[in-house]
Amino acid sequence: MNKEIYDIAIIGCGPAGLSAAINASIRRKSIVLLGGELCTPKLQKSPLVSNYLGLPEIDGRTLRDKFLRHTRSLDIPILQEKVESVDRSEGDIFSLQTKESEYQARTIIITTGVTVAELVEGEREFIGKGVSYCATCDGPLFAGQQVAVLAFTNEGIEDANFLADICSKVYFISGGGLVPNGLKEVVEVIENQKVEAITGNEFVSEIKIGDRALAVNGVFIYRETYMPAQLISRLNLTDNHINVDRLFQTNVKGVFAAGDCTGKPYQLAKAVGEGQVAALSAVQYLDH
């Protein structure tokens, strides 16, 4: 565990997260900036950005490099670690768990973007009741039981292999064209099939894939972007967007959110602006 208690932890290093980071850094707050892929796969996919003020006709990759260069010029390190869960310990300090380490902070800014993948029917209903996004956190709860892993990223392959050591059966369903290389032999791979629904009564008991129904107690899901409810369960949401006020405060004291994760329109200038306001609000919260 990293012993430092940071003023602000920023989860996500897309445009909103980087904007929050540079503003918090200019206001001399200590920050830890945690992200998945460096400054968002979205920008890299954009061949032409024509609506960003002052930089007409720029391609997404060049704009991304400019954002990163600006961030690095302020000596802000970006840790390429994904936050898997957030807890609040005694004394109002937040603990952020990644696969690699644990970080502590007085405030949090969530800038995780939105997931473009459709949620599976039943997914939201069974979060914490069989649906999980982190085998390291929840895998041991399913020791000796049957589970399914639905993976859109390589992280799912790693975690399926871990689950194979402790569960009686692991089904691996690859999504979004993910090639399921490197899985242990005991893992049963299901390719090119759509997951129709996750069902059960109080807890998950089945996953429906095509015309098959597999009996499972747990379903582990891996996407590039985490759902906000995965990180902090008490967050108020509307249509899976985090509810914020004009200061980009959420309903949880000390937690702010900015960018696509707060709602439409999904646009760069909005993300950058919201990241700035969220950072200044976090600074104000810390100073008072």
Ligand X SMILES: Cc1cc2nc3c(=O)[nH]c(=O)nc-3n(C[C@H](O)[C@H](O)[C@H](O)COP(=O)(O)OP(=O)(O)OC[C@H]3O[C@@H](n4cnc5c(N)ncnc54)[C@H](O)[C@@H]3O)c2cc1C
> Footprint of ligand X on this chain (CB under 6 A)?
11-17, 34-37, 40, 42-43, 45-46, 49, 51, 82-83, 111-113, 224-226, 259-260, 266-269, 271
Smaller CB separation from ligand X, 14 or 122: 14
Helix (H, G, I), strand (E, B) or coil at 252: coil
Smaller CB separation from ligand X, 16 or 147: 16
Residues facing residue 172 across a β-bridge:
149, 189
Helix (H, G, I), strand (E, B) or coil at 6: strand
C-alpha distances (whole Å) from 280 to each of 94, 216, 271 are: 19, 46, 14
CA 255 distance to own-chain centroid: 15
Specify the amino acid at residue 224: E
Q: How far is 75 from 5, CA to CA, in rounded Å?
A: 18
Tokens of 33: 């900036």
CB of 73 vs ligand X, minimal distance in Å: 19
Q: Are 108 and 256 in contact (CB under 8 A)?
A: yes
Smaller CB separation from ligand X, 56 or 210: 56
Smaller CB separation from ligand X, 104 or 111: 111
CB of 205 vs ligand X, minimal distance in Å: 28
Pick from 265, 234, 261: which is nearest to 94 by CA?
234
Helix (H, G, I), strand (E, B) or coil at 84: strand
* HSE-up of residue 241 (Cα within 13 Å, Cβ side): 15
Smaller CB separation from ligand X, 7 or 260: 260
Strand 102-110 to 94-98 pairing: antiparallel
Smaller CB separation from ligand X, 152 or 171: 152
CB of 92 vs ligand X, minimal distance in Å: 21
Smaller CB separation from ligand X, 112 or 217: 112
CB of 279 vs ligand X, minimal distance in Å: 13
CB of 268 vs ligand X, minimal distance in Å: 4
Q: How far is 193 from 78, CA to CA, in rounded Å?
A: 36
Pick from 81, 44, 86, 216: which is nearest to 155 by CA?
81
CB of 90 vs ligand X, minimal distance in Å: 24
CB of 188 vs ligand X, minimal distance in Å: 28
Longest dimension (CA), the chain: 58
What 3 state SS string does 49-67 have?
Answer: ECCCCCCCCECHHHHHHHH
Smaller CB separation from ligand X, 14 or 218: 14
CB of 196 vs ligand X, minimal distance in Å: 26
